[in-house]
Structure formats: structure tokens, C-alpha cells
Structure 1
């Protein structure tokens, strides 16, 4: 009997992070969730557990998760290397889309049937169901593709803000970016295209680079070049047909960043939002003295927190992105759907170099 009670206690460990703490007060039903109890290799650290749902309360929203992507920041959180680390144990995943099942008596913005995405990082989206406070959720239209909704809150928002907030770009201007095949890079290409902004897209060399270049061109990229071309005289020929960029978007660091800076217009801005090479950003002295470039950083999580009370700015951004999706001007990155139970395969695929598809966990 003591053994049976012990097993029951383990099975019903109450680990639901919905309002910032693990709750011990549940409602009927369990959620299957990918939980990690320590930092380390994501594929080894994650495990599927049954978590009991907490009380709905007056301001709670019961959500059935539909789909959630695996982003690099999600993996960095599990590894313990990200700037934002939740208390352990934690449920993985910061992005995704779900459908509202039930709302508390004081919930005013949401109702059953609505689609919602997290308003901030840390919700823990890799689970079948969650109970969250109303202010932690954003309503999105349910008439857009589920993969678009699941990947809406991070990459497209990052691309949108960087294109609008750092330089006053007008149609005909150009932007240069590395990691152009990333989720953010693909969103930059499509949003810039809709704005009339030309893009110069830098990608790392690889065996199937022509296939990749063709795919980005179909998305609307004006120029796709391998990283090595940044150092070649042919760049002068490129700038005979397109103006030098006023904005550079850096997700790599290292040599790629240094070479991009050399092609930035006088007084232009480089925004760093990632560091895939794990190398520092090295700036030539000439770029600062003679070209007067500005170096900035951007983290969409911080932007959302800075604008948490300004719902108008958040809603305007989401509405603009959803309009582009409906018009067929923005599609999600190439995705591969994987059942939640097969998460190890999806996580391992996400960690491979030159990965061409974003892994989406479907519930």
C-alpha cells in the first residue's frame, strides 16, 4: 500500500506553470507536458509528464494547445544559456497557438473557441493544455494557417520591429541581413517586400545552397548571396543596381558581421538580435570613424515587456502581420509537424546544422 501511494504521488506531481508558480489546486483533467528538471542537453533533459491543471479562477483561461514550434531560444533555455531562465522544474516552449476551452467569470477579452498565443515568454507551450491568466494571452484570428499562428509571436514580430523601429526606411531603400534562411530572415524578406524595401540576403555555403537561394528568391528576396561573396569585389557590381543598405540585421556575429558592416551606408544602423556563431561582434575602426555606423541590439521579449501596458502597439503589430498572412504576402517558414510524443526526434532535428525546416510539435 505504501508503494502504491508513492507511485500515485509521483504520477500526480503538480507542476503546472500557468501564473508564475506551480499550483497544488487542480481542476478535473490532466495535461501532458514536456518538463525539464535541470539544465543540459534538451533531448536528454526533457520528459513527458502528466500535470494536473490548476483551478480556473475568476481571471483564468483554460486553453487547449494546438501547435508549438521549437525555437533556438527554447533550446537555449533548457541548456541554461539564455538570458531568461524560468524556475525549475519548467515546461518547455515559449511560442505556440491554442484554442480557448473555458474562461473565468471576470475574463472579458476572450471566449471559448478563440485562438490565442502567449503574450510573453515563459508560458511553457509544449503541453496539451494550460490554464493561464488572461493578460498572458493574445487573441489571434482563427482564419490563418495553424503553422502561421503557431510561429507568429517571435520571428515575425522580431522582423517587423527591426524593420520599423531603427531606421526610417522608404520604398526603394535596401536592407542587408545574415542568417537570411532563419525564421526571422524569411519574415524580414516578406515584410520588406510588402513595404517596397529591397533585401540583400546572406547565407552560409552548404551542399544545397542553390536550392536554398531559389527558395528565398521565391519568398521575395531581391538578392541572395553566399557569405564568402561579402569579401569579394563583385559586391561593387551589386551596389550599381541597388543602393547601399541603411539597415543591417545580424544574427550571426563573427566575420559575417564584420563584413556586412563594410557595406553599410554612411550613418547606417546594424541591429544584432542573435549570435549563432557564438563569436563576438568585431567592428572595424574605419566603420565607426569614417562611416559613423550605429550599433544596436534587439530582443523581442524585452520589447513585449516594455509595451505590456500598451496593448494598442501589440495589437497593431499582430493585426498588421495577420493582414499580410491573409493577403498571401507572408507564409510561415518551412515546417515539419511532429506529434508531441515524438519530441526527441523533433528536438534532435532542431539542433542539426543547416536545418531547413522548423519543427512544430502538434498536440
Structure 2
């Protein structure tokens, strides 16, 4: 199968290789997913550099999150063939990936792939960042990169907690600004 993989830690443009890898064989409580979409996120860059909390095992197929269709079910039959799933698991920048059942989110068949492939990691990141910030109800939170997916999730979570948000974004500089 084709994949983007790396054999050493470093900058993605220096260490990533496109080529053949062994098609994974699912173990007990795993399914085989045909990957349909996988985003590129800051966590992926950190992972490829070898500085993420989940450590690569070299050689390593890149990618930490994705979505696809189950092509081989787990032995217990918890996740049937044909299920559209989202997952957070390393090695998904490939045609296929084996994913533990507990890391899967089964989605409706019509769920958009561009959202499905970002379903897990961004939400967890947004929740963790808001928790670490310890912002209290009726307080203000300033977000940079206000258009990012993580910021958009933080805005929704903050709203539910009664936190006011200012979301700063980058835009084109007005030609009249000096």
C-alpha cells in the first residue's frame, strides 16, 4: 500500500517519503480502515519531529487523525464493515490503517469527510486548552488564530461556560494603513 512515512525524526519536508509500506493486519479489537481523509495539523509536525506525547516507532507512517470506511471488522463485530468512522490513531497517512475499536467514532454515512477527518483531535485539544486556561464564567478569553478549527471549538465550549471570547484573525492589511 502507498503511504507517507519517515525513518528519522526531523522537519517533514526533509524526512517524509512517499512509497510502499506493508498493509496492516488488524489485531484483536482492531478494525482495518480504508482511509478517505486525513488532515495535516500542528500535532503531525511535532510527531514527525519526535516531540509529540505519542512517540513514533521508526520507521513510522505519519498522520495522527483521519476518517474512512471499515473494510475488515473486529472479531467481536462491534464495528461492522462499511461503517464510516473517525479516529485518532497514528499511521493514517496511508491507504489503510488498523485502528483499535476504542479509538473509533462511528459517524452517519452522509457525514462530510472534511469534518469527519478532524472529528477527534481538535475537540480534545480545544477542551484541554480551555481547561488549562482556567478562565472563569463572565471572564474574557483572547484567542489568536480565531479562524482555526481549534479556536472555533473553543468558542463553542466557552460560550456554554459563560466565557466571553475575542477571536483575533489575520487578514489582508488595508492599503491605507501605514
- Larger helix fraction of residues: 1
Q: CA deviation at 1:36?
A: 0.4
Describe the superposition over 1:200-259 as per-residue Cα deviations: whole angstroms up to 9, x where unpaired.
Answer: 1234xx66157xxxxxxxxxxxxxxxxxxxxxxxxxxxxxxxxxxxxxxxxxxxxxxxxx
What pairs up with 1:123-138 in 2 under 5 angstroms? 123-138=90-105
Matched, 1:188 2:154: yes
When residues 66 and 180 of structure 1 are mapped into structure 2, their CA distance, relative to the original with a 3 A threshold, is same
When residues 94 and 50 of structure 1 are mapped into structure 2, their CA distance, relative to the original with a 3 A threshold, is same
Instruction: Report what 1:198 is aligned to.
Output: 164
Q: CA RMSD in A?
A: 2.7
Q: What's the TM-score, normalizing by structure 2?
A: 0.79
What pairs up with 1:131-146 in 2 under 5 angstroms? 131-146=98-113
Q: Which has the higher contact order (CA 8 A, sep 6+)?
A: 2
Please give the alpha-carbon distance, in whole angstroms, between the structure 1 residues aligned to 2:52 and 2:24.
28
Q: What's the TM-score, normalizing by structure 1?
A: 0.42
Please give the alpha-carbon distance, in whole angstroms, between the structure 1 residues aligned to 2:91 and 2:69.
15
Gaps of 5+ in 1: 1-30, 211-363
| Total equivalences in the alignment | 173
Partner SS, residue 53 of structure 1: coil
What pairs up with 1:1-363 in 2 under 5 angstroms? 31-108=1-78, 110-119=79-88, 121=89, 123-163=90-130, 166-167=134-135, 169=137, 173-193=139-159, 197-203=163-169, 208=172
Partner SS, residue 101 of structure 1: strand
Counterpart contact for 1:60–1:107, Cα < 8 Å: no
Which structure 1 residue ranges, 4+ long, deviate > 6 Å from structure 2? none
Counterpart contact for 2:24–2:96, Cα < 8 Å: no
When residues 56 and 76 of structure 1 are mapped into structure 2, their CA distance, relative to the original with a 3 A threshold, is closer
Describe the superposition over 1:156-182 as per-residue Cα deviations: whole angstroms up to 9, x where unpaired.
Answer: 33223544684553xx55322233233
Partner SS, residue 69 of structure 1: coil
